[in-house]
Amino acid sequence: MSRTAENANFNWNEPAESVYLVHLILSTPFSTLGPKNMKSAFEAAEQYFEEAASVLDLSSSMRTLLMTPEREIKVQVPIKRDNGEIATFVGYRMQHNSARGPMKGGLRYHHEVNADEVLALASLMTWKTAVVDIPYGGAKGGISVNIKEMSIDELERLTRRFVDELHDLFGPDKDIPAPDMGTNAQTMAWIMNQYEKFHGFSPACVTGKPVELYGAEGREEATGRGVGTLTLATLRKTKRSIESASIAIQGFGNVGTYTAAYLEKAGGKVVAISDVSGGLLNRDGLNISAAIDWVKDKGSLAEFPGGERISNEELLVLDVDVLIPAALGGVLTEDNAKEVRAKMIIEAANGPTTPEADAIFRKREILVLPDILANAGGVTVSYFEWVQNQQYFRWDLGRVREELEKTLTRGFDRVWATAEEKKVPLRTAAYLLAIGRVGRAEILGGI
Ligand code: NAD
């Protein structure tokens, strides 16, 4: 039997491996690019940057310096397939900015990966690490590949070959990859192993590794936990209680499941969830742990009982207190923004709101907690993993969670205070803080 990522029946010998395989299967690749007629991902990122740059009255030379990526890399990644044929893929690594530290960003395996999207995501990483004030710059990588058509052995060869091409540009003090859509702890273990063949023992060269191989406790839950923590903080600031909040979450993968579980435990009512197979609505609250078990067992929410079936489009416009897009980019557009009835939107996904939709939400006074803050929990715990690797010291889960909450809450409070002081939306406030920090580092360091 061939070992395909789609083939859930593959007989794994090591129980730990199957955990990573299950995550790989659940991380079904999907379109991250949104409707075809909208701005490119990079144009959208640039527009948000420009808005904040105008508030800061940033000179055009500084704007150019901050938006121009330091290095754009596109490489050929050929591998031998299991049947002996040669397959050639295209891989990218965009190193956007290193003024505040080594560049940090995920590696995405998805058939729609392209240079524009990777560059947009790399710039988001620069602002994200700056908003929560961790000492990193921003980067992102990807390989244009449909992992459903790849065996596990082929994915391993692909990953190792990608590292062969780029290892001199990676490194604990240069550029540190992490998991993103289509990649997981197993992929990171391959990256570390291949990198070490060239450079010797260096667990800090990549984060999101398996806990058994220098990974951090709490990394897998970190993004969802962070989204949950910041949802509670936003509710508190707007004088709403979690107990009376109804919540809809689009996407039930890594981020969506941990967010839902966290908010349910905190007393919230998660009334709607969805994945690529569609959504479910139950006004009395869905049973989240049962839904998570169902997806682990069956691979998707399709046929999960306990709620009325709805579409992903319907979920986005439900009458709820909190809407959390945790799947695709570009799902909230000028076409549906007028129909959105949520009181607040917490951007767990990267780039779920187009600039046109964002403008509509501002007009309609729907509060949006921007992605560069809302989903920064993952990179924050990646930072903790890197710190532990550098010190050969291991933190327990309690410490990881405590430091995560401290870092995110500090970032949130600064963004909120900036928004009030400058009378700007939270997104602009987050960019103001981030651009200020990166800009000062550029100037202080010198050109
Ligand atoms: P994942 O692959 O684990 O899960 C994605 C989920 O979205 C799955 O449930 C999938 O079925 C669902 N989905 C796919 N197509 C869909 C569609 N057309 N409509 C509705 N749902 C669909 O991915 P993830 O790691 O949870 O990432 C989700 C988002 O969060 C992405 O935008 C990612 O960039 C962002 N993000 C993730 C992390 C992280 O640490 N995982 C960190 C920061 C940001």
Summarize the confidence of residues 325-335 as an average pLDDT: 94
Is 275 in a helix, a strand, or coil?
A: strand
Work out the pLDDT band at 4, boundaries 50, 70, 90: very low
Task: State the distance between the two ends of the chain, measured CA to CA, in whole angstroms.
Answer: 56
Task: Calculate the CA 36 to chain-centre distance.
Answer: 22
SS3 state of residue 286? coil
- Residue 48, pLDDT > 80, answer yes
Distance (Å) from CA 235 to ligand 1 centroid = 23
Dist CA 50 CA 63 (whole Å) = 8
Q: Quote the pLDDT of residue 121.
A: 94
Q: What is the pLDDT of residue 17?
A: 36
CA of 192 to the centre of ligand 1 (A): 24
* Tens digit of each residue's pLDDT (9 = 90 or more) over 213-239: 999 999 999 999 999 999 999 999 999
What is the token pair recorded at 224? 């969802």
- Pocket lining for ligand 1, CB < 6 angstroms: 26-28, 30, 180-181, 223, 250-256, 274-276, 312, 326-329, 348-350, 375, 378
DSSP label of 215? P
Q: Which atom of ligand 1 is nearest to the CA of 251?
A: 7
Given this model, what pLDDT does residue 181 score? Answer: 86
The domain made up of 5-49+70-206 is a member of CATH 3.40.640.10: no
Q: Three-state SS for 165?
A: helix
Q: What is the predicted pLDDT for the residue at 447? A: 83
User: What does the DSSP 8-state code read for residue 329?
Assistant: S
Categorize the per-residue pLDDT at 262 as very low, low, confident or very high, splitting at 50, 70 and 90. very high
Considering Cα of 202, then 206, then 212, then 214, what sign does the dihedral take? positive
- The span from the CA of 118 to the CA of 326, in Å, is 18
**Do 222-374 and 5-49+70-206 fall under one CATH topology?**
yes
For the CA of 32, the closest atom of ligand 1 is: 32
d(CA 386, CA 382): 6
| Range in 35-44, 109-118, 269-278 with the lowest mean pLDDT | 35-44
Lowest-pLDDT range, 65-69, 327-331, 336-340, 371-375? Answer: 327-331
pLDDT mean across residues, the chain: 91
What is the rounded average pLDDT of the residues 256-266?
98
Q: What is the pLDDT of residue 38?
A: 55
Ligand 1 center–CA 61 separation, angstroms? 36
At residue 3, does pLDDT exceed 50? Answer: no
Residue-level pLDDT at 407: 98
CA distance 383 to 216: 10
Active-site residue identified among 140, 209, 269, 343: 140
Crossing angle between the packed helical segments 426-445 and 115-131, to the nearest 10 degrees: 90
C-alpha 63 – ligand 1 centre gap (Å): 31
Ligand 1 centroid to residue 220 C-alpha, Å:
13
Confidence tier at 43 by pLDDT (50, 70, 90): confident
Angle between helices 15-26 and 185-199 (to 10 degrees): 110
Asked if residue 140 lies in contact with residue 176, where contact means CB atoms within 8 angstroms, the answer is: no
From the list 307, 312, 222, 238, the residue with the least C-alpha distance to 269 is 307
Antiparallel, parallel or unpaired: β 175-179 and 246-250: unpaired
Question: What is the 266 CA–ligand 1 centroid distance (Å)?
Answer: 22
For residues 27 and 381, give the distance between their C-alpha atoms in angstroms, rounded to a whole number: 20
Rounded to whole angstroms, the Cα distance separating 282 from 270 reads 8
Residue ID of nearest Cα to ligand 1 atom 8: 253
Ligand 1 nearest atom to the CA of residue 28, by list position: 2
Of all protein residues, the one whose alpha carbon is nearest to atom 18 of ligand 1 is 276
Q: Whose alpha carbon is nearest atom 4 of ligand 1?
A: 253
Ligand 1 atom closest to the CA of 178, numbered from 1: 40
Q: Does the pLDDT of residue 18 top 90, yes or no?
A: no
Residue whose CB lies within 8 A of the most ligand 1 atoms, among 276, 277, 381, for a mutation test: 276
Q: What is the pLDDT of residue 6?
A: 36
Distance in angstroms (rounded) separating the CA atoms of residues 225 and 380: 11
For 183-218, b where at least 16 C-beta lie within 10 A, e where not — what string?
A: bbbbbbbbbbebbeeeeeebbbbbbbbbbeebbbbb
The three-point CA angle 354-110-139 to 5° equals 70
- The Cβ-side half-sphere exposure at 20, using a 13 Å CA radius, reads 20
pLDDT on residue 41: 83
Site to probe by mutation for ligand 1, drawn from 24, 25, 30 as the one with most ligand atoms within 8 Å of Cβ, is 30
Length of the chain: 447
Ligand 1 test: best mutation among 181, 225, 309, 312, most atoms within 8 Å of CB?
181
Distance CA 379, CA 185 (A): 14
How large is the angle between the packed helices 397-422 and 426-445, nearest 10 degrees? 100
3-state secondary structure of 278: strand
Q: Which of 6, 118, 124, 223 to mutate to test the pocket of ligand 1 (most atoms within 8 A of CB)?
A: 223
In this prediction, residue 146 has a pLDDT band, given cuts at 50, 70 and 90, of: very high
Under CATH, which number does the domain 222-374 receive?
Answer: 3.40.50.720
Residue 298 pLDDT greater than 70, yes or no: yes
Q: What percent of the chain has pLDDT over 90?
A: 88
Active site residue 363: no
Number of alpha carbons in the 13 Å side-chain half-sphere of residue 270: 29
The H or E element that residue 356 is part of is helix 355-363
Instruction: Report the separation in Å between the CA atom of 181 and the middle of ligand 1, taken as the mean of its atom positions.
Output: 7
d(CA 393, ligand 1 centre) in Å:
31
409 and 423 Cβ atoms separated by less than 8 Å: no
Distance between Cα 13 and ligand 1 center (Å): 28
Confidence of residue 40 (pLDDT cuts 50, 70, 90): confident
Q: What are the domain boundaries of the chain?
A: 5-49+70-206, 222-374
Atom of ligand 1 nearest to the CA of 331: 19
The atom of ligand 1 lying closest to the CA of 255 is 26
Give the closest residue (by CA) to ligand 1 atom 15: 276
In this prediction, residue 62 carries a pLDDT of 95
pLDDT tens figures, 166-210: 999 999 999 999 999 889 999 999 999 999 999 999 999 999 999
- Percentage of the chain lying above the pLDDT 70 cut: 91
CB 264 within 8 A of CB 322: no
398-419: pLDDT as tens digits: 999 999 999 999 999 999 999 9
